């Protein structure tokens, strides 16, 4: 069931209903600025188990716990994490509320199931006004609920949802979904591991490595670099780092501009191929094909990220055998989009 939370008129009733559902151990579809989440009380093991079951996700893959901002956020940080390295505090101050998840040492005995049994916990304060309003509401009162555990609201291994309608098509109509409109960021949060003494980037996302570095004045290592330095950590699992992820049904093929151009010129173009292209001349070539199924990728990385998953879904729904995608530029700003495309193409 969709609850309209897009206008002030519907908001209060929708929030109250969602809060009551979460307090009773139920699950909701939750809008965030990145993608929609499938949320439950992070400290209720039954709710967490229901999340894993609904997603078809293995129970040892840890979930991100979403916390409020302000005073309530500080209390939540203290509740879920046992320590906060100085660089993690700087990153939280710089980017929360926002699309950044920090992996921190977990306080013993708290949110074990949500953390997939690991001794660390992923925390994020989302920037979506509906998510924030809900988190603030839950943190109030005699029995505060400090965190909403929420993985992306898709079936395991599939494309993340960026609208309430996507959530319904992934998880069915019986789920209560707060409709907060289309997600503005469009790809999942940047994840930084803060448990190894130096920041390590586990998943590229809307906040780039350059932005992280500028904010904390420290190099942000890639996982391979951290490994080479033998930085100690019981290797965290990140399902977003499985090779194949975010995959539509159709086969996604990533091609550099020249290869794609050559393929479009060849007479052997297979039928039922959708095209997702960036450069003007490739778009022109594609438009000259008979009945092209075509999507244009915006020129800027943030705009491309915003429409990425919705476009893959739309092209997939057109019942194509393959989606040919023009590769994105090499720069750091494109790391998040490039990462999702590479995983979709495995
Ligand atoms: O933008 C987002 O991050 C979205 C929205 C809903 O907030 N959530 C999201 O969740 O993408 P999910 O479950 O699809 O991806 C969470 C990622 C996984 O790769 C998971 O393994 C990693 O975060 N993660 C969570 N807790 C972790 C931990 N303690 N150690 C290592 N990785 C962790
Ligand atoms: Mg996911």
Residues sharing a CB contact under 8 Å with residue 125, sequence separation 6 or more, in sequence order: 66, 67, 68, 69, 73, 92, 96, 97, 98, 132, 135
Domain ranges of the chain: 2-228, 251-344
pLDDT at 48: 98
Decide whether any atom of ligand 1 lies within 6 Å of the 190 Cβ. no
With 60 as the cut, is the pLDDT of residue 240 above it?
no
The pLDDT assigned to 291 comes to 83
In ligand 1, the atom with minimum distance to the C-alpha of 188 is 1
Residue 241 has a pLDDT of 53
pLDDT of residue 269: 76
- What integer pLDDT is reported at residue 344 of this predicted model? 93
Residue whose CA lies nearest to ligand 1 atom number 20: 238
- Of the chain, the percentage scoring pLDDT greater than 90 comes to 82
Tell me the CA–centroid distance for residue 22 and ligand 1, in Å. Answer: 20
What is the CATH code for 2-228? 3.90.870.10
Per-residue CA distances from 213 to 69, 70, 204 (Å): 23, 24, 13
Closest Cα to atom 29, ligand 1: which residue?
A: 121
| Distance between Cα 240 and ligand 2 center (Å) | 6
Judged by average pLDDT, the poorest of 114-123, 135-144, 227-236 is 227-236
Residue 145 has pLDDT above 70, yes or no: yes
To test the pocket of ligand 1, the residue of 103, 151, 171, 223 to mutate (highest count of ligand atoms within 8 Å of its CB) is: 151
Q: What is the pLDDT of residues 66-94, one digit of tens each?
A: 999 999 999 999 999 999 999 999 999 99
DSSP 3-state assignment of 18?
helix
Decide whether 2-228 matches 251-344 in CATH topology.
no
Sheet bearing 120-124, strands edge to edge: 2-4, 176-179, 28-30, 37-41, 148-149, 64-66, 120-124, 100-105, 190-193, 200-203
- Where is pLDDT greater, at 292 or 207? 207
Ligand nearest the Cα of residue 184 is 1
* 211 CB within 6 A, ligand 1: no
CA distances for 340 relative to 99, 189, 243, 318, angstroms = 16, 12, 10, 20
pLDDT of residue 289: 87
Q: Is 162 touching ligand 1 by the criterion CB < 6 Å?
A: no
Element (H, E) at 151: none
Could you give the 3-state DSSP secondary structure of residue 147?
coil
Which has the minimum average pLDDT: 1-5, 104-108, 221-225, 244-248? 244-248
pLDDT at 270: 79
Phi-psi region of 181 (alpha: psi -120 to 50; beta: other; left: phi over 0): left
Give tens-digit pLDDT for 19-78: 999 999 999 999 999 999 999 999 999 999 999 999 988 888 999 999 999 999 999 999
In 3-state terms, what secondary structure has residue 92?
helix
Q: What CATH topology corresponds to 251-344?
A: Rossmann fold (3.40.50)
pLDDT at 146 over 80: yes
Atom of ligand 1 nearest to the CA of 101: 3
205 CA closest ligand 1 atom index: 1
pLDDT of residue 33: 98
Phi, psi of 2 (to 5 degrees): -90, 130
* pLDDT, position 20: 98
């Amino acid at each position: 069931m969709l609850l309209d939370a897009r206008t002030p008129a519907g908001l209060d009733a929708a929030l109250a209903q969602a809060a009551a559902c979460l307090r009773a151990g139920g699950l909701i579809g939750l809008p965030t600025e990145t993608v929609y989440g499938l949320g439950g009380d992070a400290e209720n093991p039954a709710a967490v188990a229901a999340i894993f079951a609904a997603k078809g996700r293995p129970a040892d893959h840890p979930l991100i716990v979403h916390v409020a901002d302000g005073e309530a956020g500080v209390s939540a940080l203290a509740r879920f994490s046992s320590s906060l390295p100085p660089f993690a505090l700087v990153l939280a101050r710089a980017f929360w509320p926002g699309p950044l998840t920090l992996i921190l040492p977990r306080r013993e005995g708290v949110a074990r199931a949500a953390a997939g049994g690991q001794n660390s916990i992923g925390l994020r304060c989302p920037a979506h006004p509906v998510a924030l309003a809900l988190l603030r509401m839950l943190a109030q009162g005699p029995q505060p609920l400090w965190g909403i555990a929420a993985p992306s609201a898709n079936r395991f291994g599939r494309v993340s949802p960026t609208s309430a309608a996507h959530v319904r098509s992934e998880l069915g109509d019986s789920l209560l979904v707060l409709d907060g409109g289309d997600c503005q960021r469009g790809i999942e949060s940047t994840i930084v591991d803060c448990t190894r003494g130096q920041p390590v980037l586990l998943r590229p996302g809307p906040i780039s490595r350059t932005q992280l570095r500028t904010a904390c004045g420290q190099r942000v290592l890639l996982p391979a670099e951290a490994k080479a330095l033998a930085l100690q950590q019981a290797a965290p699992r990140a399902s977003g780092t499985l090779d194949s992820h975010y995959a539509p049904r159709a086969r996604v093929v990533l091609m550099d501009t020249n290869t794609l151009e050559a393929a479009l010129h060849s007479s052997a173009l297979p039928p039922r191929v959708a095209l997702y292209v960036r450069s003007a001349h490739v778009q022109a070539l594609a438009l000259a094909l008979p009945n092209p199924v075509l999507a244009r990728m915006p020129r800027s990385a943030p705009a491309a990220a915003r429409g990425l998953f919705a476009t893959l879904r739309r092209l997939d729904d057109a019942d194509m055998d393959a989606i040919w995608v023009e590769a994105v530029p090499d720069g750091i700003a494109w790391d998040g989009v490039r990462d999702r495309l590479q995983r979709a193409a495995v």
